[in-house]
Each structure stands twice: as C-alpha cells, then as structure tokens.
Structure 1
C-alpha cells in the first residue's frame, strides 16, 4: 500500500550530503549468553504474536457471526500488530546471532517508515473501535445504520492514510539530518529518538517536528477515545440492573486494556524531553509497545470475549471433522 511512498522517501534521504552506508544497532547487551536468552525470548514472543494475530484474522474471516464492525476493526488491528512486529523483530533476531549488527541506511529508513506507518494507523484504528463501542452502547437501535460498511471502510482508509502521511513526515524529518559522527544506534531497531541523538547538526527542529506529529496523532486519538468512553460511562451508569451494567462494561474492557498499554508506553516514549541518558530506558519501553503489546492483543480480545471463544470452538470442530471424518 505504501511502497510508492517508501521509494519516494528513500530517494529523498539519498540526497543527504553525509550519506551513511550503514548503521550499527547496539541492541540490549554485548554478552553472548544474554544474547542467546534474548533471542529465545524474542523468538517465542514473535511466534506467539504471529500465530495469535493471524489466528484472529482467520477466525473473523471464516465465521459469519464475526462479520460486524467491531470485528472488522479488530481484524485490521491484528493485521497492523503482525506487520509492525514483523518490521522490527526479524532484524532484532538476526542481530542476536551475529557479531556485526549492521543495517543499511536504506533499510533503516524503510524500517522506521514502515514501523511509524503501522503504529500511527493503530492509534486511529483504536479510536475507530472506541467510536464503534460508543454507538453500540449509546445508540443501539441506530447501530446498524450508523456503523455502515461505507463508514467503516472510510474510517479505516483514513487510519491508513494518516499512518502513511505521518510516517513520511517522521522519516524525512530525521533522515535529512547529517550523520557524521557515530553511527551506532543505541537501540534494537531504527527508532526516532536514538537516530536524532546521532546527528552532528542541531536536531532540535527535527525533534520538535517528530514530537508534534506523534503528539497530534496520539493526543487527538486519546481525547477522542476518552470522550467516547465518558459518554459510554454516562449511559452505562443509567442502566438499573447490575447485570446490564456488567454486560455493557465487558464489551469495552478488552479495548480499554489494549488502549492503556499502547498509549501509556507511547506517551512515555515520545512526549517528554529526550536525553542520551534515557535511551537505555527507552529500549525497555519500546519492547512493551512494539513487541509485547502485539503479542497480548489477541489474548486480550479473545480470553474474555464469548463470541471469539465460540468461533474458536467452531473452528476446532471443523478441523477435527476434517482430520477425522469418520469419528462420530
């Protein structure tokens, strides 16, 4: 979808007068025994993340009961999680095994662009899911009319478009800078803050642009989500039966947990004054929103969701019937 934008951006960053043929990702540690542990841990997380997210997408596609706006957005949330964890983790796994942890200038720019696109689009998909819950609880009778297929596709297209445009600004703002000193990135992937720390020119303006773009995306969607849930809460509290209130809250619980984990780590990472001394802490925060959250989302949305559990049981039944057709 955004390959053309990537080619355009890479052609722009090639004009950098101090073009760096490659960078070196320092990762977490230089101790070989710890690198092996990190490799096993990241590999396990990546496998669980891919299986979980692709499993959610498959379940939603094959089960007609899940062909609703809520699960439409959830399938794309899973797609984004699978994509941006795949943008980061394979390179990290390779670096755990090799001594020369190099990444080319072009691959670094492409990694940042792809990651920023998916991460930004996820913010807007989470906001769209909050609006879906608002309509479902506050206007249940109008839900099929309001949450039309046309609106859902339009909101999703807007999310992806915002991701591409924001990441284009993000990437160009960073990679137009000269990197004439150290090319050792104190991180396990090409992220904005550690790259800005490497520039030998005044990177304050670029840092302000990146913070402004990220801040607009995160804060605008955060406000939208908070307003949506404030309206939801005002309606739920008017429900007289405890069972009804519990049922209404349970439809929002998974989304709220996912939003809290994702937005909390993003706000801490980007919307604060940066310094070289905090880059080591940033790596741990990045693991949360870039590696752990994509793994947890399928579990968050499946374990407490009755419809997803039923879909899993149906899929298991179909698989068993296919494998053992003669067993009653």
Structure 2
C-alpha cells in the first residue's frame, strides 16, 4: 500500500515536471508608432538551458508561420512573416523565446508560442491588439487651435479698430492681405492637424499653423504705431514678446515634427499662447489710447471758441 502511494506521488511529480511553465502575458498592443512588434514568450522552468535540445514554434490562429529547430540550428519562416526573428540564442538558453516582427507583417490576432525542451513542452497564447492613436492628445489639439484662433481673431479686431486711422491705403491693403493669408494657412492647418489616427498630414498641418504665424508679428508694429506715433517703446516691447512667443512655438514644432507621439506639445502651445496674449495686450492698449484721444478732441473744440 505504501509502495503504491509512493509510485502515484512520483508519477504526479514526473508529470508535473514534464510541463514547461510560462510567464503569462495575455496581450500586447501595437500602434502606428511601432516599428516592430515583440510577442513575449518566456519559459520560467527550463532545466538544461541548451538550445540544441530545444524546439520553438510560433502560430497565428493555429497556423504555423515560424519555427526553430535547435538540433540543427535551422529557422523556418512563412513568406508572409519573413521579418520574424528570435532574440539571441543566448537568451533562448535562458527561456526567452520572444518573437519580433516588423509592423507591416504583424497581423492582429491570437499568437501561440510552443516550446519544447527534450521531452518537456508547453504553450502560451498572446493576443496582439491594434490600438488607434492620434498624434497630439485631444486636449493638446484644442489648445493649439484655440491659441492660434485667438491670435488671428485679435489681429482682425485690432485691424478694425485702427483701420480708419491709416494714412495710406496701400498699408491698409497690405495688412488686410496679411490677415487673409494667415487665416487661410491656419484653417488648412487645423483641418490637417485633427484626425483619429496619426498621419503625415498631421505634421504638415502643424507646420501650416506654426510657421506662417510669423506673418502676425510685423503688422503688430504698424498697428501700434498708428495708435501712438510719438512713443514707440511700447510697440517695440510688444513685437519683442510676440517674436519670443513665435520662436518658442517654432522650437516646439521642431521637437514634435520627428516624433510619432510628441512629448513637447506644451512648448508649441506655450509659444502660440504668448503670441495671443501679447496681441491681446496690444489690442487693449490700442483701445485705451484711442478712447483717450477721442475724449481730448471734444475738449479742444470747446476750448477754442472760449479762448477766441
């Protein structure tokens, strides 16, 4: 009886040792930003740590597309997965049979990894999920567009406020054309920037928003010069601050343009926000100075008859 119990126990132990165990990872995500996809397959209880007694097989939806035979060091790949490759054989000795595939060949679905070591074997299943990602986050898109819209809107308001005071029609026409050009660029840029998934058009859109924004800087000087010709220090200060905002926005654009998922969107937003805020200060200044001039003219008109 005792011998029978021992035999059953030893059988159970042997049966358990014949099964390879895996570090279970249920799924991995793939996005358009991935250059390659790595499907994890890690055995945790290898005994011999010898690739010559190992066999690795990968399947997609139960159809084999990749295998490695350690006895002869031979790899076998399906033509549709020609980029599939294991890590180093040194890692395979440690139980790492993860597979790397190029993003163009990585098809979403259920992948199974089968590993055998001598007379022991095991299998794990990993689901590859494709996740759609936009370039900027929705909040960043909103803030970029809002900052630029405010900068352009303030420009048009300031142009309307001071437009009647232009001495030359040519200057008025030039400032009007500048407003139209930057507005067209921005609208096209907005339409290209926003999309559900990252596309190269997003980068073009950001460029059409940020780079032409320099058009708003020189007209600001002329608009403020009309308001107060004798004191241009304020106008120069506004131009310097607005130029600084533009420079920050361009630096942010340069940092973002090469990234699939930009981490410096805040730099672009900060630059455009400085431009909008500076333009707003200029608008308030123009309104206040214009109002004070209007109040002074009636007083002079009343004082002249009295003095006469």
Q: Under a length normalisation based on structure 1, what TM-score does the superposition of the two structures give?
A: 0.34
Larger Rg: 2
TM superposition score normalised by structure 2: 0.35
Structure with greater strand share of residues: 2
Higher-RCO chain (CA-CA 8 Å, sequence separation at least 6):
1
Larger proportion of helix = 1
